[in-house]
Each structure stands twice: as C-alpha cells, then as structure tokens.
C-alpha cells in the first residue's frame, strides 16, 4: 500500500513563495519533482476553515453556524483520515505549535482519530515523524505553524525587521520539509509515498484597509486565496497544470492516488484533479450564515475564479479583478462600468484618459467584451452558489438570517472608487480614440 504525507504550508501564498524563493530550496525541489497546479485557489481565507474543507472535501461544512471558530463540521462527507484509517492506514496529525499554553483544537479532527500531537520543538517533531513513518501504511498530516505571523515572532529577536522575520520563518519551515523528505528517502519510502504540499492561504498586510489589524480571515482577494499546490508521486510525471484546483479537491485526489474508492455523496464535493478540473473555484472568508464584522470592518464575502478573473460579492456589492494583471486586487474593474436597468454592464468613458488606458479598455472592444461576458457568467454561477448555501442552511433546519441578500449581486461595490479615480469626470456617451496611432503589428 502507498503511504500519504500532507505538508501544510501555513500562511504561504503563491506570492510569498515567489517573493522569498531563495528561502524555499527544499520546497521548490519537491515541486520540481511534482505535478504543480498553477491555478490552485484556497477555499477560504482562514486556516480552520481550510482544514475543515480539505478534510471533508466540501465548503458547506460550517455554513449553518453564525461563526466558524468553535463550530463543528456538518460531516457532509467523512473526514479523509477516517476513510484512510478504515482502509488500514495509521492516520495522524502532527503539529508544530509555538504556543504550548494554547493547545490546538480542531473540531474537524474527530474523536475517532488519534489525538492531534503537537510540540514547540523541531527536533521533537522530527523524532515523531521518524517514528510514525516506521509503521506503514501511514497517512500523516504535518502542520508547521512557524510561518503564521504570530508564531514567527519566535524569530523576531534575530531578525532585521518584519520582512526578514517572515523570510526567516519561511526558511525554517522549508528546512523542516527538507528534513522530512530526507527521512523518507533514507528509509526507501520516498517513491512509495504520495506527498501533497499546499498553502492554506496568504496574508494581506493591510493593503485593503486596517481590518482591525487582521491580515487573513479577511475578504477573499486573490493575493490571499492564490496558493501553491503540488503532488509528488512516483506514478505522476512532473508537470505544471493550468486547470483550476481547489482545497475541496485535495481529499478526492488523495484517495484516487491511493487507489481507495470512496466517492463523496455530497452534491458540492470536490473533484479528483487527476481526472479533470472544474470550470470555477470558490472561496469565502466567513460562513454563509455569519454576519459582517463591524468591529473589524470585514464583510462576509464570496469569491469565484475562472482562471482569468476573480469576482467578489459582499454586502457592499460586486468587485471584479484581473488577478494575473493585478495580483493584489487593488483595481475593481467594475469601476470602469455602470450597471444599467437590466443589470448589465455599460462601459464608462473618461475624459483625457491616457493612451495606455485607451489601449487597454476604451478602444479595446475585444477586451471589454470579454470582461462583460465573463462578468455575466461568473455572477450567474456565484449567485447560484450563494443561493445553494442559503437553501442548505434551510434544509438543515437553520435560519438563514445572515446570508447574503440577492440584491448584492445587482450593485457595484463603491469602496475605493473616489480614491482611485480622484473625481475624474466621466463622459458616458463619448467615444475615445488614440489619434495618430495606427496598429501595424501582424498577428500570426
């Protein structure tokens, strides 16, 4: 039987992996040997939600609750590690926790599984991993919290500022990955073990507002939810795949790799990424029935991604971003448009716009049409997803008092617009061109 190791990269987004690439030699080596999913989208912006969605292969598990902290999963699907334990695996979750006085509590890790094992000492963690891998077949979830902003404080005394502190935390976490990989290789288990490496979410260092000081758990902008995912398995040739992948797809993909037939019965379960991908990936920051946080200035928000655009819906309205061009999601493209009486996008024109803007939007009919078509498709799918979560809450006997109102899909979120445009005049009827500019490139 093949073994399984899931390596959890705490608070490591795709952007962080690229920004601090020299701190990740072991991680990048493993990714070079793996199938990497270049469009992996985390299903949530907080670790507890991500872990729950991963283990149960769907993102409805917590939606009936009015808060995700302390909420128990609905168990729409069985926990991945329960399934593996029933299949004869020694299932364990080991955690490096820098705060021993605050033990890890994870409701998604059920009492039917061995208790979560945790330590604040790296050598002890490695000893535990070494012992667990002496008893195949094993399924081990490794959660190293050193890259969490709070846990990285352990490195503050030897760091030169916050950036260096985060960089050093990444290097320490990477060293742990290299050490565990070397253990598997030394024991001759590397090619008999499927290794899944993934980032749960990224951090937003207040580029979208103070948010009570929170840097994740905020709205699901692409910089937070775009994360790394790689699967190393002897049966898979290294490759980079561009199809969409989601946190909820990890469990069914693991079961497929291990040859375990355990089809998820829940309608909104993830898919086996080795057989295909979905058209969209979804993410959220709160449960579907959790109210906005006025104290933190954080809105309950849902995101949908198609690989090119990310659309967000919240009580403030709609936001849309071309996340490859704007990875930080700072320019709401819908501010270039208005919604007419039928709810369709109408392009706005801006007097004295620079030729750069005209080339990108005003005179670029193909780009504008693509955005408008994508908006309609994404809005329709996201609206249906939010409605399904509302129906799910009702079907479980809950009161959907805090679910997102459908009217939120009929307005553009104005947040940041005046700051962004600085009151530039709009001229809706004017047709702007670029005088004297003739295109001579031939497209082949």
Residue 197's DSSP bridge partners are 7, 230
Q: Is the pLDDT reported for residue 117 higher than 60? A: yes
Q: Is the pLDDT reported for residue 19 higher than 70? A: yes
CA dist., res. 193 & res. 195, Å (int) = 6
What is the mean pLDDT of the segment spanning 359-384? Answer: 95
What is the mean pLDDT of the segment spanning 340-366? Answer: 89
Average pLDDT of the residues of the chain: 93
Q: How many residues does the chain have?
A: 444
What are 394-418's pLDDT values in tens digits?
999 999 999 999 999 999 999 988 8
Q: Is the pLDDT reported for residue 444 higher than 70? A: no
CA dist., res. 97 & res. 47, Å (int) = 14
Q: Which pLDDT value is given to residue 427? A: 52
Least confident of 238-252, 388-402, 423-437: 423-437
Q: Is the pLDDT reported for residue 336 higher than 80? A: yes
Confidence category of residue 424, pLDDT binned at 50, 70, 90: low
Phi-psi region of 294 (alpha: psi -120 to 50; beta: other; left: phi over 0): alpha
DSSP strand pairing (90-96 vs 138-144)? parallel
Domain ranges for the chain: 3-284, 308-421
What is the mean pLDDT of the segment spanning 24-43? Answer: 98
CA dist., res. 115 & res. 119, Å (int) = 13
CA dist., res. 173 & res. 23, Å (int) = 9
What is the mean pLDDT of the segment spanning 299-314? Answer: 97
Query: What are the Cα distances from residue 99, in Å, to 29, 115, 146, 243, 339?
Result: 30, 18, 10, 38, 50
What is the mean pLDDT of the segment spanning 267-275? Answer: 96
What is the mean pLDDT of the segment spanning 290-312? Answer: 96
Phi-psi region of 104 (alpha: psi -120 to 50; beta: other; left: phi over 0): beta
What are 73-105's pLDDT values in tens digits?
999 999 999 999 999 999 999 999 999 889 998
- Cβ(216)–Cβ(45) below 8 Å: yes
Q: Which pLDDT value is given to residue 425? A: 54
What is the mean pLDDT of the segment spanning 14-30? Answer: 98
What are 187-221's pLDDT values in tens digits?
999 999 999 999 999 999 999 999 999 999 999 99
Structure tokens at 277: 């991908």
Q: Which pLDDT value is given to residue 426? A: 54
Confidence category of residue 70, pLDDT binned at 50, 70, 90: confident
Structure tokens at 364: 């670029």
Q: Which pLDDT value is given to residue 71? A: 80
- Cβ(254)–Cβ(352) below 8 Å: no
- In Å, how far from its chain's centre is CA 293? 21
Q: Please report where in the chains the tokens 């909820």 appear, as a residue.
A: 248
CATH class of 3-284: alpha beta
């Amino acid at each position: 039987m093949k073994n399984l190791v899931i390596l959890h990269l705490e608070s490591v987004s795709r952007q962080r992996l690229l920004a601090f690439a020299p701190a990740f030699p072991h991680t990048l080596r493993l990714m070079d040997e793996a199938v990497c999913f270049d469009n992996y989208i985390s299903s949530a912006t907080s670790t507890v939600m991500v872990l729950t969605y991963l283990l149960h292969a769907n993102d409805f598990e917590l939606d009936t609750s009015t808060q995700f902290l302390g909420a128990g999963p609905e168990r729409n699907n069985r926990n991945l590690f329960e399934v593996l334990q029933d299949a004869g695996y020694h299932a364990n979750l080991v955690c490096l926790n820098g705060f021993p006085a605050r033990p890890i509590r994870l409701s998604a890790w059920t009492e039917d599984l061995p208790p979560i094992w945790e330590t604040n000492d790296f050598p002890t963690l490695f000893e535990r991993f070494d012992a667990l891998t002496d008893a195949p077949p094993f399924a081990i979830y490794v959660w190293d919290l050193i890259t969490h902003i709070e846990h990285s404080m352990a490195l503050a005394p030897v760091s030169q500022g916050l950036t260096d502190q985060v960089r050093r935390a990444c290097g320490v976490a990477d060293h742990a990955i290299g050490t565990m990989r070397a253990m598997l290789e030394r024991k001759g288990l590397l090619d008999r073990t499927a290794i899944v490496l993934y980032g749960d979410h990224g951090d937003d260092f207040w580029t979208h507002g103070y948010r009570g000081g929170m840097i994740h758990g905020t709205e699901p902008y692409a910089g937070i939810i775009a994360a790394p995912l790689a699967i190393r398995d002897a049966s898979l040739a290294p490759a980079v795949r561009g199809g969409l992948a989601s946190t909820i797809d990890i469990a069914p993909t693991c079961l497929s790799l291990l040859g375990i037939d355990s089809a998820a019965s829940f309608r909104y379960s993830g898919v086996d990424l080795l057989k295909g991908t979905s058209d969209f990936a979804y993410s959220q920051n709160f449960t579907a029935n959790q109210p906005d946080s006025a104290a933190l200035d954080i809105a309950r928000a849902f995101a949908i991604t198609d690989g090119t655009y990310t659309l967000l819906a919240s009580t403030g309205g709609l936001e849309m971003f071309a996340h490859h061009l704007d990875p930080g999601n700072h320019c709401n493209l819908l501010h270039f448009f208005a919604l007419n009486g039928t709810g369709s996008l109408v392009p706005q024109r801006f007097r004295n716009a620079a030729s750069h803007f005209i080339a990108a939007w005003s005179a670029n009919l193909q780009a504008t049409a693509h955005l408008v078509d994508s908006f309609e498709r994404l809005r329709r799918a996201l609206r249906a997803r939010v409605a399904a979560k509302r129906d799910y809450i009702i079907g479980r006997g809950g009161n959907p008092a805090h679910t997102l109102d459908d009217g939120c899909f009929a307005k553009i979120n104005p947040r940041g617009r005046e700051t962004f445009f600085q009151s530039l005049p709009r001229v809706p009827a004017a047709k702007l061109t670029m005088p004297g500019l003739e295109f001579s490139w031939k497209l082949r």
